[in-house]
Amino acid sequence: MRKTDLNKYVGAPETGRAASASIAVRIALKGLYSVIAVLAVAGVIVLVFLTSFILGFRNESIKMDLNNLKLNYTSFIYVNDDSGQPVEYQRLYSSENRIWVDYDKIPRNMKNAMVAIEDKRFMEHNGVDWIRTAGAVTTLVTKGGSYGGSTITQQLVKNITGDNEVSLTRKVKEIFRAVNLDSRYSKEQILEAYLNVVNYGSGCQGVQAAANLYFGKDISQASLAECASIAAITQNPYKYNPLNFPENNKTRQRLVLGEMLNQQMISQDEYNSAMEESNHMVFVGRKDENVVNDSPVWNWYIDAMFEDIVEDLQTTQGISKDKAVYMMYHGGLKIYCAMDQKAQNAAEEVVSGDNMPSDPKIQLGYYMMDYNGRVLATVGRRGEKAGNRLLSYATDSQRQPGSSIKPIASYGPAVDMGVINYSSILPDEPVDNYFAGGKPGPNNWYKKFYGPITVQRALEISSNAAAAQLVKRISPTTSYRFLTDQLHFTHLNPKTDSVQIAAMAIGGMNGGVTVKEMTAAYQMFGNGGQYNKPYTYYYVEDHDGNVILDNRQNTGTQVIKSTTSTIMNRLLRNVVYGSEGTGGGAAVSGWEVFGKTGTTDEDKDSWFVGGTPYAVAGIWTGYETPKSLSYGQKENYTKWAAKIWRNIMAKYLDGKKKLYFRYDSNVVSATFRTDNGKLSGADVGAPTKTGWYERGNMPEVDTSPPVSSSPASDILSEPEQSEPENSQWETSHPSNPETSSKPGGENSSPASSRPSSSHSQGNGNGNGNENGNGNGDEHGPGQDDNGLWVPPDTEIRPGG
């Protein structure tokens, strides 16, 4: 067949442009078919992947049990009022203030307001509103950013997990978590949890905290308009915060009311009434008026109590410190605080008042207890408290105690061991090999050594040499063990402080002690010889009302004999009221006071620790970075420790019933000779004083003529004293110790005439300078050597 014959069947061949176009069309169609095929395959793959991805979260759920959400809530502190009844004092929370309120205590209008504005199909869906969710996902894919559309259940999930990531993965997880949550709990349980955990601005988590802050009332008392105002906040807690943007809040509040009306949750009359209330609504911005102290900055006592509970939780619950701190902030604990509000207010008022050292850089730490271990008050430093859980100079800082260590490390143990009595003779002379290199010491602040002197006088004038001789006699190890084993000092250095005379005799340890430790130790001189662990709270309950910590059965340990306690009490009263005493500035008019001063080398630290029948207290004053309180200063700041101690104690005791110390019946008074410490058997012209002795352990009687005094002892000669008549108790007591004069004082000599210190603070071999304020009391006419008269047969326990 010819080629021309084929044309009859296949047509003439295309030529030119027509042929080219035809080829292009065929190629395009083939490409399109290929793309469609690829997309179809890809689509199937993506669909399979997405399905697998989504189904991978089908078992996603939150691990939190809604029944345990109460664990994440505010802890409450209760303090006894004047009638002894506990009242709410303060609330503890970190950044979130949460107060749980049960479902049936939340007003119906509050529940309906949240459902109306946030999730109107809440009671119908299974945790997810699929129509709103589809719109939310579309918004996320096309526009990005926040997508909204979450139900109340989904919002609860987000609040519990804290997962705020804007992503499809998070949204898918949230959906399945919400569905699973809805299947496990009732709508009432979910709504209860939601209303207690959602952010309502200004650090308020939950409707109760919000009602407290914005309206000053409990949520159960909130009106319809107030409930709508609270519900209006959740969409944007910053924009709709009633305190910051009240008009914004009111605008959305009215929207909430409108939704409630449209959904037939309220009547027209209720709507109208609420709208009228909205026009005149004022947001008070205060917490519950039943809370005594709503300041976000706690006082020093709450700081100390917080740390005590954290430590005790670690010990009793076997948990870490971080976990214990978390429990304090979020455990919903009920803490029954032991603070005495009168004592705490007295301390804070004095420390923040005008009658303080003129140099504001001089700091202090103050601690007050009763004689059963209850901490009454504490102040951690001068100046406005700028935060919580700050370093306290009362409980945290360790400083050398100077001579305030003498009663508890040397004299107290020595009397208890029977080594000395009230009038035993001690050598006021240097100890051989006291300093490194074999030099004798220590020096006395009064620049002399008086040779043999009585215990009573050595403690009254604060002889460093006599204390060192006594510690050498009983051994530094004995003193150290008494402080650590019986009095629970925890900051001493066993390698150095247990062998150095300086550390135990005059407080020249390498480290230091806290005011808390010193105050607790001095208890034994006012309560019959017991040590009680200081406690700042009575007991603590968990969120279910179970008592998890309890100090109500706090029992003391007998660390010295009751007779020793009485003898030391009488000895330490000479420090305050004796004619040569160094602590006259601490005398409180009309009250018995015992105590001891203490200063360190170059007067870098100044102390007074002592007690009255109601309380024992300690105070330290000094600079944050140690430097002299006297040398180069415009005034001698060492006197301020005793003065501040007195001012706080006087304010605390004001208006209290007069009490006296209870003394052991096995201690009797007797007249002793000051020249040799023996009992005076006859009037042979020897100078005498009244001493206090354990019955059956009296000094021998001496009727020999007196030995002439050495020239040095004449410098500090003592006037004879006589026992007072009962009627002279009130009239003979100096009414104003500040205006009285007294000879001598531990720093009464000019700075230029003082002996130079061989060692500075912290070297363990200091000279133990002592504080003399130069304005203490002389005995009034008719007073005994202790400056006070104790009525016979007085049987009143310290602290009432």
**Residue 733's pLDDT is what?**
31
Shortest CA distance to 794 belongs to which of 546, 550, 566?
Answer: 566
**Residue 192's pLDDT is what?**
94
**Residue 140's pLDDT is what?**
58
The answer for 655, left when phi > 0, alpha when psi is -120 to 50, beta otherwise, is left
DSSP, residue by residue, 554-565: ---EE-S-HHHH
What are the start-end ranges of the H helices in 591-667?
640-653
Rounded-to-integer distance, Cα 367 and Cα 606, Å? 15
> Which secondary-structure segment (H or E) carries 314?
helix 300-317
Rounded-to-integer distance, Cα 365 and Cα 380, Å? 5
Residue 544 contacts residue 563 (beta carbons within 8 Å): no
**Residue 797's pLDDT is what?**
28
What are the start-end ranges of the H helices in 668-784?
711-715, 729-732
Q: What angle do CA 783, 652, 405 make, to 5 degrees?
A: 65
Residue 774 contacts residue 445 (beta carbons within 8 Å): no
Look-up of token digits 């330290």: 620
The answer to whether the Cα torsion of 621, 627, 630, 633 is positive or negative is negative
- Given a cut of 50, the residues of the chain with pLDDT beneath it are 3, 6, 8-10, 48, 50, 53, 287-289, 709-768, 771-800
pTM equals 0.69
One-letter amino acid identity for 130? W
Q: Residue 361's Cα: distance from chain center in Å? A: 22
What are the start-end ranges of the H helices in 371-430?
406, 412-417
Residue 610 contacts residue 593 (beta carbons within 8 Å): yes
DSSP, residue by residue, 454-493: EHHHHHHTT-HHHHHHHHHHH-HHHHHHIIIIIS---S--
Q: Residue 526's Cα: distance from chain center in Å? A: 26
One-letter amino acid identity for 795? E
According to DSSP, the β-strands at 334-337 and 75-80 are parallel
Residue 336 structure tokens: 């029954």
| All residues at 6 or more sequence positions from 19 whose CB lies less than 8 Å from its CB, including other chains | 13
**Residue 780's pLDDT is what?**
30
Rounded-to-integer distance, Cα 373 and Cα 519, Å? 10
